[in-house]
Amino acid sequence: MSAALALGDDALVLSHRLGEWAGHAPVLEEEVALANIALDLLGQARILFSLVGDEDELAYLREERAFRNLQLVEQPNGDFAHTIARQLYFSTYQLFLYEQLAAGKSAFAPLAAKAVKEVAYHQDHAEHWTLRLGDGTAESRARMRQGCAALWKFTGEMFQPVEGLDVDHQALEARWRDAIGEVLERATLTVPEGPRSGAWAAGAGRQGLHTEPFGRMLAEMQHLHRSHPGATW
């Protein structure tokens, strides 16, 4: 499995999920914020795919089992709190991952160095909303707690080794756990209960095994390209 493909698929799939909020975000400001984050991720995906092959073919012509994204990023948006929980988990992981890559000498170092600033914004945005919802009304707190709990089982996959990705996964996981725990504590929430690393309940996206919602999302994402092969705009 290509590490570039795995990271590119993460960015592409989450970009599409965030794009689904267009016209549906709770406030206009969030419409713009989520769209900007989606575009940042799409830009990352394009660069990563260019290291592997043709970006359009990789995005629009592969079958479901050929995608290597984390199961976390393919999960449906749910309500706004659910989306924020997914974003908090992933953007915190991605920030720490890119910081490690930027400090190394691999082919990913230039991309990671450029992407760190925008990913830091993604993480800050998710943290801000986690605090706002978790320490808000009884309803917002309940929804934020439910989102964090529902997605927790998918987070262990982020720390499984990926061939060609030269990072310290144990250090990455430890730092991620500390950061997530600190944010949730400030938000008057608790870290969800669940199996520890190595026995977490879900996560085979890196092996091409995906959850049911992914197939529907992929069909929607690829429909136009497959319906008009070779079309130019």
Q: Please tell me the distance from the alpha carbon of residue 231 to that of residue 8, in angstroms, as a whole number.
A: 24
In a domain, 91, yes or no: yes
At 50, the amino acid letter reads S
Q: Is residue 199 part of a domain?
A: yes
DSSP 160: S
Q: What is the 3-state secondary structure (H, E, C) of 49-114?
A: HHCCCCHHHHHHCCCHHHCCCCHHHHCCCCCHHHHHHHHHHHHHHHHHHHHHHHCCCCCCHHHHHH
Please check whether residue 98 lies inside any domain of the structure: yes
3-state SS assignment for residue 174? helix
Q: Which residues of 32-58 are buried (b: 16+ CB within 10 A; e: fewer)?
A: ebbeebbebbbbbbbbbbeeeeebeeb
First-to-last alpha carbon distance for the chain, in angstroms, is: 32
pLDDT at 202: 61
Q: Report the distance separating Cα 158 and Cα 226, nearest Å.
A: 31
Total tally of structural domains belonging to the chain: 1
pLDDT of residue 200: 46
Give the dihedral of Cα atoms 47, 38, 154, 184; nearest 10 deg. 120
Residue 148 lies in a domain: yes
Q: What is the pLDDT along the chain (233 residues), one digit of tens a residue?
A: 589 999 999 999 999 999 998 888 788 788 899 999 999 999 999 999 999 999 999 999 999 999 999 999 999 999 999 999 999 999 999 999 999 999 998 899 999 999 999 999 999 999 999 999 999 999 999 999 999 999 999 999 999 999 899 999 999 999 999 999 999 999 999 999 875 444 445 679 999 999 999 999 999 999 888 888 877 76
Mean pLDDT for the chain overall: 92
Provide the pLDDT for residue 209: 94
What gap in Å lies between CA 125 and CA 104, rounded to an integer? 27
Instruction: Please indicate, yes or no, if residue 232 is contained in any of the structural domains.
Output: no
Residue with tokens 């394009």: 46
Which residues constitute the domain of residue 163? 3-227
In a domain, 194, yes or no: yes
Rounded Cα distance between 177 and 224, Å, is 40
- Provide CB contacts within 8 A for 106, sequence distance 6+: 166
Report the SS3 class of residue 14.
helix
Give the other-Cβ count within 10 Å of 121's Cβ: 15
Q: pLDDT tens across 73-104, in order?
A: 999 999 999 999 999 999 999 999 999 999 99
Side chain identity, residue 57:
E
Of the candidates 12, 68, 58, which has an alpha carbon nearest to the alpha carbon of residue 210? 68
Would you say residue 41 lies in a domain? yes
**Domain contains 122:** yes
CATH code, domain carrying 35: 1.20.1260.10
